[in-house]
Amino acid sequence: MSVPNTNNNRFLFLILIIGIFTAISFASRTVLLFTDITQVDLGILPLLKLYAVGLFYDLVASSYYMIPLVIYLILLPNRLFNMKIHKLLFLAVFFIATYLLIFNAVSEWFFWEEFGKRFNFIAVDYLVYTHEVIHNILESYPIPLLLTVIFILNTVLFGLILKKSALLTKTFDSDQTFFQRAKVGLTFLLLPILFFNTMEQQHLSQVSKNQYNNELAKNGLYSLFSAFRNNTLDYHAFYKTEERSTVMNNLDRLVHFNDTHLKLVKNGDEQESKYNVMLIMVESLSASYMGAFGNDQNLTPHLDALTQRSLFFDHVYATGTRTVRGMEAVTLSLPPTPGRSIVKRPDNHNMFSTGFVFQEKGYESKFIYAGHGYFDNMNDFFSHNGFDVIDRTDFGEEEISFANVWGVCDEDLFAKAMKESDKSYKADKPFFNFVMTTSNHRPYTYPEGKIDIPSHTGRSGGVKYTDYAIHDFLEKAKEKPWFKDTIFIIVADHNGGSAGKNELPIWRYRIPLIVYAPEIIEPKVVHKLSSQIDTLPTLFALMGWEYQSQFYGDNILDPNFKERAFIGNYQKLGLLKEKNLFVLEPDKTLHHYNIVDERLTDATYQETDHISPEDALEIITYYQSASDLYTHHINRWPERH
């Protein structure tokens, strides 16, 4: 970069900004490293790569951060720039800029603590739903104290800069012509344009096989910008593909439908049952929280006991790490497509949905949510895919005993679900209620005195309160006339966290699936490897239903069930088979890992170069076809219905 050798160049100030930006980013990266130091690869070479790539991205991010300032320095004439009032205004803006940098570093620490990652698409979603996010933050953290501490730190930093830096004086003494300013300023502006068009952090930050190292090598602000840019990914542009005809022929072989025909599912010759269905999707209920999977903290005593009286599937995996992914998996029964969930996309009406299957069988289908359903586009999605929607706006004041920013407490939610079930029963209609809980979510607040963990003390309390609320609901439901004819399904929406040393930490995706109906279904533990998308196809089989289908999910109880699971985040797409994990990356590569060991809270992978043509075609078939069927409006509910 060519900067004129002059002592009165106003752009010298940018050097100071870059220095402050990179210093704060370095400090933030180091703090995050020590936060999870036992998970990070601490070898000399890995750390050198981590910090070298991190410094590069800090410089890249600083070039974006300075764009408004560069434009300002180009346009403002000398006579205004050198005025005393402008100097005071400039210093005020500088103070705010450094304050925001420190604020961002502190925010990243809390985000890292929750997700084990730099800012990503989750942070993008949070910026969209400001009401829930701001109030969640206010209810979760001591914000006034944090803002005050940041103000004090920034004041000290600002004072040191004013005292020690000569660059400020040289900046204010500037007498450059507009041509001189434009020449230098446009050079600074070319850098972010170049970076925008030639690089992608997701690829360059892969400094290690340890995912923590890769995340630490990133810059949080740049990650946020990248997530905005890549929130929706075109499968064909970013992933390994095969010819469409090959993919569709193989899809027909794997799941018995493709882009030309539906499959007819038959589940026996006996008369179909019209049992009521109460599907409870539990916020963030990882398998690792339950005693049934080996947890010794006694967080889910009621659910653990329920697994012994139910059809319990103990080897089920969620498709993603967000609530909308769990909803998508259960409602649409298809693998996760790259980018944002279909629930949040604008073109998602009249999908081939389990809601429409229930409607066709004469059911009243309702989505019952504790919060405001505009969040994550839930109301729009469910109301156009076979459901009536009941959210917090439908709760009367007398129906709410406790609430936080995410919604009413689980007890109030289940009381509402009970009333809606009573309405359907009185109308002589079988019902399918999709009930989404929220209490097991930060800030983890709930009514006091219900469990032995005080409210607002962390995830453990959220888990145990939800366990209590489900038990209380089932006990009250036993008094209802519709109870004996109702199947209760309890399944998590996703795991309680996504951090891990591996790119797709499989233990994080493991969730419970419990099917409880004491007068209908015999208790049994099913150990088959299966997916969240198999939930309702398995239920339909239990009720002996015949229906046409475009569901990728299948009946887990079928002796010929093909064991596999789909796991992913918004970029990486995984297929889990036995002790093998295949991962499609958004650089058109496919990786294969042998799972050496899987434990309750960890898993060890060993990458291998061997990928059979059959395995490669299988994972490509699942994900390419799911993307194509959505993109080309093929997986839609037939008009004849």
Residue 451: inside a domain: yes
Listed residues 181, 203, 229: the one ending a domain: 229
Domain of 144, in residue numbers: 12-229
CA distances (Å), origin 215, targets 211, 493, 611: 6, 25, 27
Q: 3-state SS string over 241-286?
A: CCCHHHHHHHHHHHHCCCCCCCEEECCCCCCCCCCEEEEEEECCCC
Listed residues 229, 253, 283: the one ending a domain: 229
Does residue 471 register a pLDDT over 70? yes
Does residue 221 register a pLDDT over 80? yes
Does residue 304 register a pLDDT over 90? yes
Enter the tokens of residue 404: 């936080």
Residue 430: inside a domain: yes
Rounded average pLDDT over 248-256: 97
Number of helices (H) and strands (E) in the chain: give both, helices first: 24, 18
Residues in the chain: 641
Does residue 173 register a pLDDT over 90? no
Q: Assess whether 486 and 560 both reside in one domain.
A: yes
Please list, in sequence order, all residues whose beta carbon lies within 8 angstroms of the beta carbon of residue 122, skipping any fewer than 6 positions away.
115, 322
CA distances (Å), origin 354, targets 311, 363, 491: 21, 11, 16
Residue 7: inside a domain: no
User: What's the pLDDT score for residue 1?
Assistant: 42
Which is higher by pLDDT, 149 or 161?
Answer: 149
φ, ψ of residue 488 in degrees (nearest 5) = -100, 125
Does residue 208 register a pLDDT over 50? yes
The percent of residues above 70 in pLDDT, for the chain, comes to 92
Q: Assess whether 263 and 202 both reside in one domain.
A: no
Does residue 38 register a pLDDT over 60? yes
CA 91 to chain centre: 39
- In three-state secondary structure terms, 355 is helix
What are the beta bridge partners of residue 436? 281, 369
The pLDDT tens digits of the residues spanning 451-460 come to 999 999 999 9
Does residue 175 register a pLDDT over 90? no
CA distances (Å), origin 270, targets 263, 348, 359: 20, 35, 21
- Band of pLDDT at residue 111, cut at 50, 70 and 90: confident
User: What's the pLDDT score for residue 65?
Assistant: 87
- Band of pLDDT at residue 417, cut at 50, 70 and 90: very high
User: What's the pLDDT score for residue 437?
Assistant: 97
CA distances (Å), origin 353, targets 99, 210, 281, 442: 48, 38, 17, 30
The answer, as to whether pTM is greater than 0.85, is: no
CB atoms near residue 297 (< 10 Å) = 11
Please list, in sequence order, all residues whose beta carbon lies within 8 angstroms of the beta carbon of residue 323, skipping any fewer than 6 positions away.
281, 283, 376, 436, 493, 494
Enter the tokens of residue 154: 């920034």
Q: Virtual CA dihedral for 179, 180, 185, 188, nearest 10 degrees?
A: 130
- Band of pLDDT at residue 336, cut at 50, 70 and 90: very high
Q: Assess whether 431 and 509 both reside in one domain.
A: yes
Q: Assess whether 586 and 507 both reside in one domain.
A: yes
Out of 194-208, 359-373, 551-565, least confident range: 194-208
CA 314 to chain centre: 23
CA 624 to chain centre: 21
User: What's the pLDDT score for residue 2?
Assistant: 45
Does residue 278 register a pLDDT over 80? yes
Rounded average pLDDT over 126-145: 74
Q: Are 539 and 487 in contact (CB under 8 A)?
A: yes
Q: Assess whether 170 and 131 both reside in one domain.
A: yes
* Rg for the chain, CA atoms, rounded: 27
User: What's the pLDDT score for residue 195?
Assistant: 80
User: What's the pLDDT score for residue 129?
Assistant: 59
Q: Assess whether 24 and 162 both reside in one domain.
A: yes
Q: Are 334 and 549 in contact (CB under 8 A)?
A: no
- Band of pLDDT at residue 349, cut at 50, 70 and 90: very high
Alpha helices in 533-582 (DSSP H): 535-542
Q: 3-state SS string over 42-69?
A: CCHHHHHHHHHHHHHHHHHHHHHHCHHH
User: What's the pLDDT score for residue 77?
Assistant: 85
Q: How far apart are CA 191 and CA 188, in angstroms?
A: 6
Burial class (CB in 10 A: 0-12, 13-18, 19+), 64: middle
CB atoms near residue 181 (< 10 Å) = 22
Cα angle for residues 369, 375, 381 (degrees, 5° grid): 75
Does residue 352 register a pLDDT over 70? yes
Q: 3-state SS string over 423-484?
A: HHHHCCCCEEEEEECCCCCCCCCCCCCCCCCCCCCCHHHHHHHHHHHHHHHHHHHCCCCCHH
The pLDDT tens digits of the residues spanning 597-611 come to 888 888 888 999 899
The percent of residues above 90 in pLDDT, for the chain, comes to 63
Residue 413: inside a domain: yes
Residue 356: inside a domain: yes
Q: What is the CATH number of the domain that holds 611?
A: 3.40.720.10
Residue 529: inside a domain: yes
Enter the tokens of residue 472: 């209380």
Does residue 200 register a pLDDT over 60? no
User: What's the pLDDT score for residue 185?
Assistant: 86
- Helix, strand, coil shares of the chain, percent, nearest 5, are 50, 15, 35
CB atoms near residue 418 (< 10 Å) = 17
Q: How far apart are CA 151 and CA 103, in angstroms?
A: 9
Does residue 188 register a pLDDT over 60? yes
- Band of pLDDT at residue 138, cut at 50, 70 and 90: confident
Listed residues 205, 229, 253: the one ending a domain: 229
CB atoms near residue 150 (< 10 Å) = 18
Residue 63: inside a domain: yes
Q: Which long-range contacts (CB under 8 A, 24 or more apart) does 451-456 make?
A: 456/139
Q: Assess whether 400 and 262 both reside in one domain.
A: yes
Q: Assess whether 194 and 251 both reside in one domain.
A: no
Q: How far apart are CA 445 and CA 462, in angstroms?
A: 7
User: What's the pLDDT score for residue 420?
Assistant: 98
The pLDDT tens digits of the residues spanning 570-597 come to 889 999 999 999 999 988 999 999 999 8
Rounded average pLDDT over 112-131: 72
Residue 336: inside a domain: yes
Q: Assess whether 320 and 208 both reside in one domain.
A: no
User: What's the pLDDT score for residue 595?
Assistant: 94
Q: Assess whether 178 and 307 both reside in one domain.
A: no
Spatial CA neighbour of 51 closest among 20, 29, 32, 28: 29
Q: How far apart are CA 247 and CA 619, in angstroms?
A: 10
Alpha helices in 515-601 (DSSP H): 535-542
Enter the tokens of residue 413: 């939610």
The pLDDT tens digits of the residues spanning 498-524 come to 555 677 899 999 999 999 999 999 999
User: What's the pLDDT score for residue 5?
Assistant: 45
- Band of pLDDT at residue 100, cut at 50, 70 and 90: very high
Enter the tokens of residue 257: 């439908």
Q: How far apart are CA 252 and CA 264, in angstroms?
A: 12
Q: Assess whether 219 and 298 both reside in one domain.
A: no
Enter the tokens of residue 356: 């429409």
CA 492 to chain centre: 14
> What's the structural domain count of the chain?
2
- Band of pLDDT at residue 640, cut at 50, 70 and 90: very low
Does residue 142 register a pLDDT over 80? yes
- Band of pLDDT at residue 335, cut at 50, 70 and 90: very high
Q: Assess whether 505 and 425 both reside in one domain.
A: yes
Q: How far apart are CA 390 and CA 392, in angstroms?
A: 7
Mean pLDDT, the chain, rounded, equals 90
CA distances (Å), origin 230, targets 53, 339, 340, 631: 21, 7, 9, 17
Q: How far apart are CA 341 and CA 231, in angstroms?
A: 10
In which residue are the tokens 């905005």 written? 228
